[in-house]
Amino acid sequence: MAKVKKAPRPKAQTPKGFRDYFGPEVTERAEMLEAIAGVYHRYGFDALESSAVETVEALGKFLPDVDRPNEGVFAWQDEDESWMALRYDLTAPLARVYAQHRNDLPLPYRRYAMGPVWRNEKPGPGRFRQFYQCDADTVGAASVAADAEICAMLADTLEVVGIPRGDYLVRVNNRKVLNGVLETMGLEDDAQRDAVLRTIDKFDKVGEAGVRELLGKGRLDASGAYIDGVGLSDAQAEPVLNFVLSKKIVLDRIENELGGYKDNTTAEYERLAQVWSVERGPDRQGGLRHTLESGQILLRRTLGFLNELVGASDTGREGVQELREIADLLLAQGYGPDRIVIDPSVVRGLGYYTGPVFEAELTFEIFDEKGRKRQFGSVAGGGRYDDLVKRFTGQAVPATGVSIGVDRLLAALREKGRSGGTVQGPVVVTVMDRDRMADYQAMVAELRNAGIRAEVYLGNPKNFGNQLKYADKRSSPVAVIEGGDEKDRGVLQIKDLVLGAKLAESASLEEWKERPSQYEVARGDLVAKVREILNQWA
Amino acid sequence: MAKVKKAPRPKAQTPKGFRDYFGPEVTERAEMLEAIAGVYHRYGFDALESSAVETVEALGKFLPDVDRPNEGVFAWQDEDESWMALRYDLTAPLARVYAQHRNDLPLPYRRYAMGPVWRNEKPGPGRFRQFYQCDADTVGAASVAADAEICAMLADTLEVVGIPRGDYLVRVNNRKVLNGVLETMGLEDDAQRDAVLRTIDKFDKVGEAGVRELLGKGRLDASGAYIDGVGLSDAQAEPVLNFVLSKKIVLDRIENELGGYKDNTTAEYERLAQVWSVERGPDRQGGLRHTLESGQILLRRTLGFLNELVGASDTGREGVQELREIADLLLAQGYGPDRIVIDPSVVRGLGYYTGPVFEAELTFEIFDEKGRKRQFGSVAGGGRYDDLVKRFTGQAVPATGVSIGVDRLLAALREKGRSGGTVQGPVVVTVMDRDRMADYQAMVAELRNAGIRAEVYLGNPKNFGNQLKYADKRSSPVAVIEGGDEKDRGVLQIKDLVLGAKLAESASLEEWKERPSQYEVARGDLVAKVREILNQWA
């Protein structure tokens, strides 16, 4: 065989937009996924792990006009020229799995799935092309009881992973109410309706004034480009805006009513004042929550206002009724307005979902990159989508589900200092005498058999300082030393590295003397002494 | 917007060679990975999750002569025309990660990784294009103590996941011994040496006679094609064959010695007889294992024979010495020849690895597809590879590691009936009155809060039979029923579905009457009664 000319050295880096996760990043996520799976399991959901690779057709990402997949997915051709792609979410694969296996699956089919998804998008700071999703969906249940249950499960999940009650809120809206509003307006042009939906989705970004402009003639966006509007008249845009702003309007009305009271001691005044103080009072930043009573009042007022908006539209009235049922079902299970609320200002996803939509928000404040206070924001979202399976089978199958942004949730826990971000390193048995490796391995085996994380230093043992540096880099709590002298005397030196580090940081000379961080113990006391030190720092 | 012509319905199926995993398949694997991670952690290894997508160059799969990636990987071009691919194992990514982050990582770097890998190969029965690997590697440790430790960890891992001692054997060989044999033969042509290595790798497939032919002129393979041989003379091939067959030769010698004994009661005879009965005696199929003594004798004889084979070769002698050290280190930690043995008949991977190689075999017997008894075989393998990082940095970095075939290990546990393959279904609260969904949800919330897996039936409740069929399909242990009559009386009907199924299968009429499988309890006793039934079947 002729020698091949040497290829240039490859660069040691991930493709752009990808990254590696080390140690605690991996184990913390694994622990969170396990905790979430526990809740999903308790709610009766079964695990599903579909293949990471799908046909582009099954993903619905094939563009027949250009005979190529949508650029948003990572796709390639198989030997037989058919296109395959990495899944970009866990919902499209669920639809494929359900259509493929529906004869063998229970109906309704409740499944959860967790794993990476891939997006062929421009990466940015904190935006990667591979990330985790964690979904639970119920396929084949038309009842809003299925939606209510997902909301309850979402609240439970947040608490189980470490977000305490009061630090999150699940907010629920319904696409059908919006459909009712559009119906009442007589907006029947499909393209215009789609344009309205897309516009509303931008509310969180462009605000009330922006949406008003975009529903009308259009607006200059931040980059200076002019964005054409939907072309509604002011009168036409009004009901849509009223829907998006209904929470604000309801609260304005309550504020007005409160102003109109002469005698401030009626029970009705007290109740409305309670609503106002939670929503607009000076304390609301402090995490003041609705009580059962104030929540019920706000709910009644909100549903009443939505009924006004949808007028005689059957779809609209159905939507309002569904929201009422969801609130009732949740209340019956003990999920009050301190955890889950009906809130028409949830607009994200209204264009995608077909019925109830929900969003979980973390309500505590953090400082953003510019040092400004802001709420942490959304960590999960979902809703009802009744058309996904139809693509495959021709039959509409009702479905509802939620997707948790695991990486965002982990970031939130880190913000709150509820997640350590470190894993305790192993006890390191140092190598003083290369020829006695078997002795050191035996010590390590003893420690491991006692359930203690431990290892022998396996690098070049020549430089003892390197061994202690290694123990430091591994965040080792304890180092064990047995030189020839110790061996002869049947003893070990055991260094408490945590105490050692503390003393090095701050101790006075006297403390140094008083609190030695190194102990000489009999060889037979290895496990007992190490355990004693570990327990002290646990 | 013009309406787009409808695309034909996509087929609901995975690309060929891919599959989905449902319920217990997912959770069993997750539990196994968690158990394995626990052992790896205890040994001081840290988790690493590298990106699933790598540059083709980093994977070492770019073919410069055709300017395309090797066909064995799933690859595609990024926008900037650079090639990306799905990882095909976890070792190539480790080399890239280590080269990229080496300044921030401890030295030695001990990491474990678990996750799917992808192979663009022809799928076959039981051979998929996506499967799990579970690896642990130590990078930067030249000492064979690192190899010994991996072997010990492998043994611990097998026991932790449920393979009892006696049902597995970790076998260790060393590439350096083979290198020594080749050196002694004076085989200096690189191409011929490579050809010899590739030939030996086929030993498990073609056997002794096949390897003999392939080292010489060549042979007709099963398909009738003629495979050219390496072209060694018989005299040249002999040392290579002796290496591959050294275990057999050592045992033949022991057999001869035993035959030569006149007085059968010497201590030496007894010891050799013990070795013989484990390896060749009629009981060896019954799982007879080496004792410390018989194992040490076989080890001594084996190492002695290997020393004969490598003659004056330094590399060869070093290889034999390494095997001796590994055996000593393991013994010091309590891993005797009943679990880990030095065995020169391990040939798999000798062409790939550069030092010690190891393989974990399950030794119990199963029946193959044709109903013949055979040993289950290999579930993990590994060894020392000192060149991988060099591709990136130019510097050789010693590394050693192991890869566990998680799916094969799960299959083995299923074979042995040590893995259930079912997950207990949820308690199903049936819906007798659609308008009282809130009541049923409240029951379910009570059960869940008590830690009991439970759900309300969320399908169309009209047909009660469907609800019980659903409970059956979900393997539900208990169904709860509250119709209008029960509601009025403040009671519930609780059906023990496990007992019901047992009775339906086999009970006589009397047993039916004696052991009712349905109980009427007060509404307040819901949780207590359900728990009582569940405990009974736990």
According to the 3-state scheme, what is the secondary structure of A118-142?
ECCCCCECCECCEEEEEEEEEECCC
User: For residue B101, what pLDDT band results from cuts at 50, 70 and 90?
Assistant: very high
Q: How far is B458 from chain A (nearest CA, A)?
A: 6
CA dist B134 and A419 (Å) reads: 26
Q: So what's the pLDDT on residue B1?
A: 46
What φ, ψ does residue B395 adopt, rounded to 5°? -105, 130
CB pairs under 8 A between A and B: 310
Residue B84 has pLDDT above 80, yes or no: yes
- Is residue B477 within 8 Å of residue B452, measured between CB atoms? no
Which of A48, A438, A452 is closest, CB to CB, to B328?
A: A438
Q: Please compute Rg for chain A using Cα positions.
A: 30
Of B455, B231, B198, nearest in space to B352 by CA: B198
B436 interaction partners in chain A (CB closer than 8 Å): none
Assess A422–B contact: CB distance below 8 Å, yes or no: no
**Phi/psi class of residue B178: alpha, beta or left (left: φ > 0; alpha: ψ in -120 to 50)?**
alpha
Assess A151–B contact: CB distance below 8 Å, yes or no: no
Of B474, B462, B478, B444, nearest in space to A142 by CA: B462
Q: Across the interface, do A145 and B50 touch by the CB < 8 Å criterion?
A: no
Strand-strand pairing, B109-118 and B62-63:
unpaired
Collect all residues with Cβ–Cβ distance below 8 Å to A171 and sequence separation of at least 6.
A340, A341, A342, A343, A345, A346, A358, A359, A360, A361
Q: So what's the pLDDT on residue B62?
A: 80
Q: How far is A416 from chain B (nearest CA, A)?
A: 24
Q: Cβ of B28: how many Cβ atoms within 10 Å?
A: 20
Q: Please compute Rg for chain B using Cα positions.
A: 30
Where does residue A223 rank: exposed (0-12), middle (13-18), buried (19+ CB within 10 A)? exposed
Contacts 24+ apart (CB under 8 A), B205-209: B208/B241, B208/B244, B208/B245
Query: Which alpha helices (H) appear in B416-508, and where do they start and end?
Result: 437-449, 464-473, 484-489, 497-506
Q: So what's the pLDDT on residue A429?
A: 96
Where does residue A345 rank: exposed (0-12), middle (13-18), buried (19+ CB within 10 A)? middle
Which of A19, A53, A444 is closest, CB to CB, to B51?
A: A19
Q: So what's the pLDDT on residue A1?
A: 46
| Residues of chain A numbered 456-495 and touching chain B (CB < 8 Å) | 456, 458-460, 470, 473-474
DSSP structural state of residue B490: T
Instruction: Give the predicted TM-score (pTM) of the model.
Output: 0.90
CA dist A52 and A88 (Å) reads: 9
DSSP structural state of residue B361: E
Please state the separation of Cα A54 from the chain's center in Å: 24
Assess A518–B contact: CB distance below 8 Å, yes or no: no
Assess B424–A contact: CB distance below 8 Å, yes or no: no
Q: How far is A448 from chain B (nearest CA, A)?
A: 6
CA distances from A176 to A179, A215, A321, A357, A501 (A): 5, 20, 10, 10, 61
Judged by DSSP in three states, B506 sits in helix
| Residues of chain B numbered 53-82 and touching chain A (CB < 8 Å) | 53-55, 57-58, 60, 62, 64, 74-76, 78, 82
- Is residue A235 within 8 Å of residue A298, measured between CB atoms? no
DSSP structural state of residue A14: P
Tell me the sheet residues that pair with B63.
B68
Judged by DSSP in three states, A269 sits in helix
- Is residue A248 within 8 Å of residue A344, measured between CB atoms? no
| The dihedral sign for the CA sequence B164, B165, B169, B170 | positive
- The distance in angstroms from the start CA to the end CA of chain B is 60
Q: Across the interface, do A423 and B332 touch by the CB < 8 Å criterion?
A: no
B48 interaction partners in chain A (CB closer than 8 Å): 20-23, 26
Assess B23–A contact: CB distance below 8 Å, yes or no: yes
Residue type (1 letter), B270: E
Q: Across the interface, do A49 and B20 touch by the CB < 8 Å criterion?
A: yes
Tell me the sheet residues that pair with A481.
A493
Pick the residue with more confidence: A133 or B373?
A133
Residue type (1 letter), A523: R
Asked, as a colleague might, if the bond just before B282 is cis with ω within 30 of 0, I would say no
Which of B100, B129, B460 is closest, CB to CB, to A12?
A: B100
| Residues of chain B numbered 194-223 and touching chain A (CB < 8 Å) | 194
- Is residue A399 within 8 Å of residue A388, measured between CB atoms? yes
CA dist A217 and A73 (Å) reads: 34
- Structure token pair of residue A21: 């996760």
Tell me the sheet residues that pair with A342.
A172
Mutation test of the interface with chain B: which of A118, A119, A339, A441, choosing the one with the most B Cβ atoms within 10 A?
A441
| Residues of chain B numbered 32-51 and touching chain A (CB < 8 Å) | 34, 37, 41-44, 46-51
Q: Across the interface, do A453 and B42 touch by the CB < 8 Å criterion?
A: yes
Q: Among B49-63, B264-278, B424-438, which is the least confidently predicted range?
A: B264-278
pLDDT, one tens digit for every residue, chain A (538 residues): 455 556 678 999 999 999 999 999 999 999 999 999 999 999 999 999 999 999 999 998 887 777 788 889 999 998 888 999 999 999 999 999 999 999 999 999 999 999 999 999 988 887 899 999 999 999 999 999 999 999 999 999 999 999 999 899 999 999 999 999 999 888 878 888 888 888 888 888 888 889 999 999 988 887 888 888 888 888 888 999 999 999 999 999 999 988 877 777 788 888 888 899 888 887 665 567 888 888 999 999 999 999 999 999 999 999 999 999 999 999 999 999 999 999 998 988 888 899 999 999 998 887 777 777 777 889 999 999 988 889 999 999 999 999 999 988 998 888 877 665 566 799 999 999 989 999 999 999 999 999 999 999 999 999 899 999 999 999 999 999 999 999 999 999 999 998 888 888 777 777 767 777 899 999 999 999 999 999 987 7
Mutation test of the interface with chain B: which of A53, A73, A154, A428, choosing the one with the most B Cβ atoms within 10 A?
A53
Pick the residue with more confidence: B513 or A162?
A162
Q: Across the interface, do B333 and A442 touch by the CB < 8 Å criterion?
A: yes
- B309-321 residue pLDDT tens: 999 999 999 999 9
| Residues of chain B numbered 231-290 and touching chain A (CB < 8 Å) | none
DSSP structural state of residue B424: P
| The dihedral sign for the CA sequence A213, A215, A216, A221 | positive
A463 interaction partners in chain B (CB closer than 8 Å): none
B62 interaction partners in chain A (CB closer than 8 Å): 7, 10
Where does residue A5 rank: exposed (0-12), middle (13-18), buried (19+ CB within 10 A)? exposed
What DSSP line would sit under A293-305, residue for residue? Answer: HHHHHHHHHHHHH
- Is residue B123 within 8 Å of residue B332, measured between CB atoms? no
- Is residue A415 within 8 Å of residue A408, measured between CB atoms? no
Of B233, B143, B151, nearest in space to B187 by CA: B233
Which of A12, A16, A26 is closest, CB to CB, to B49?
A: A26
- Structure token pair of residue B224: 């009738």
- Structure token pair of residue A38: 């526990």
Strand-strand pairing, A454-456 and A427-429:
parallel
- B254-288 residue pLDDT tens: 999 888 777 777 888 888 888 998 888 876 655 67
Collect all residues with Cβ–Cβ distance below 8 Å to B168 and sequence separation of at least 6.
B155, B158, B339, B360, B361, B362, B363, B379
Of B297, B402, B301, nearest in space to B356 by CA: B402
Judged by DSSP in three states, A383 sits in strand
| Residues of chain B numbered 383-402 and touching chain A (CB < 8 Å) | 391-394
B438 interaction partners in chain A (CB closer than 8 Å): 328-329, 331-333
Residue type (1 letter), B195: A
Collect all residues with Cβ–Cβ distance below 8 Å to B319 and sequence separation of at least 6.
B174, B175, B176, B177, B178, B179, B180, B306, B310, B355
Q: Which residues in B140-268 belong to E strands, given as ranges?
A: 168-174, 218-220, 226-228
Which of A156, A191, A428 is closest, CB to CB, to B1?
A: A191
Q: So what's the pLDDT on residue A70?
A: 84
Here the ipTM equals 0.89
Residue with tokens 């060894």: B383
A84 interaction partners in chain B (CB closer than 8 Å): 15, 74
Q: How far is B139 from chain A (nearest CA, A)?
A: 9
| The dihedral sign for the CA sequence B49, B15, A96, A105 | negative
Q: Across the interface, do A11 and B451 touch by the CB < 8 Å criterion?
A: no
Q: Across the interface, do A473 and B116 touch by the CB < 8 Å criterion?
A: no
Q: So what's the pLDDT on residue A79?
A: 84
- The C-alpha torsion from B30 through B32 and B34 to B37, rounded to 10°, is -130
Q: So what's the pLDDT on residue A120?
A: 94
CA dist A440 and A432 (Å) reads: 9
Which of A97, A99, A145 is closest, CB to CB, to B458?
A: A145
Q: Across the interface, do A108 and B458 touch by the CB < 8 Å criterion?
A: yes
Q: How far is A205 from chain B (nearest CA, A)?
A: 25
B458 interaction partners in chain A (CB closer than 8 Å): 108, 110, 138, 141, 143, 145-146, 149
- The C-alpha torsion from B49 through B55 and B61 to B64, rounded to 10°, is -170
Q: Across the interface, do A455 and B142 touch by the CB < 8 Å criterion?
A: no
- Is residue B170 within 8 Å of residue B339, measured between CB atoms? yes
Assess B110–A contact: CB distance below 8 Å, yes or no: yes
A135 interaction partners in chain B (CB closer than 8 Å): none
Q: Across the interface, do B146 and A458 touch by the CB < 8 Å criterion?
A: yes
CA distances from A214 to A175, A249, A338, B149 (A): 20, 21, 34, 66
Assess A327–B contact: CB distance below 8 Å, yes or no: no
Collect all residues with Cβ–Cβ distance below 8 Å to B175 and sequence separation of at least 6.
B319, B350, B353, B354, B355, B356, B357, B383, B384
